[in-house]
Amino acid sequence: MNIFVARLNFKTKREDLEAAFAKFGQVSSAKIVKDRDTGRSKGFGFVEMPSDEEAQKAIAALNETELDGRTIVVKPGNPKAPGEGRPQEN
């Protein structure tokens, strides 16, 4: 399951995000979205967990809790349709 995590502290690292979710089960990947030009965190990210049950437990437990001094928002991520978010090629 893909999980969206918002309101991250700009200093939060991928490893910190992964560790927070690993308490609830296996984490396939954790990613913090960064600005292309500056490399600075945009304050949100995504965590992928193979077990939907473990992911739901993590969402319930971590939503509106504190991580690195910020109250985070955790909810199921919406999968993108193929090509969504990318310019169309003609």
Report yes or no on 83 lying in a domain: no
Predicted model pTM: 0.85
Domain that holds residue 61: 2-76
CATH code where residue 21 lies: 3.30.70.330
What digits encode the pLDDT tens for the residues 46-74?
999 999 999 999 999 999 999 999 999 99
Distance from C-alpha of 27 to C-alpha of 40, rounded to nearest angstrom: 23
Q: For residue 38, what pLDDT is reported?
A: 94
Q: For residue 78, what pLDDT is reported?
A: 81
Q: How confident is the model at residue 20 (pLDDT cuts 50, 70, 90)?
A: very high
Report yes or no on 9 lying in a domain: yes
Report yes or no on 89 lying in a domain: no
Distance from C-alpha of 80 to C-alpha of 88, rounded to nearest angstrom: 15
Distance from C-alpha of 53 to C-alpha of 70, rounded to nearest angstrom: 26
Looking at the 3D structure of the chain, how many domains does it have?
A: 1
Tell me, letter by letter, the H, E, C secondary structure of 47-80. EECCCHHHHHHHHHHHCCCEECCEECEEEECCCC
Report yes or no on 86 lying in a domain: no
Report yes or no on 71 lying in a domain: yes
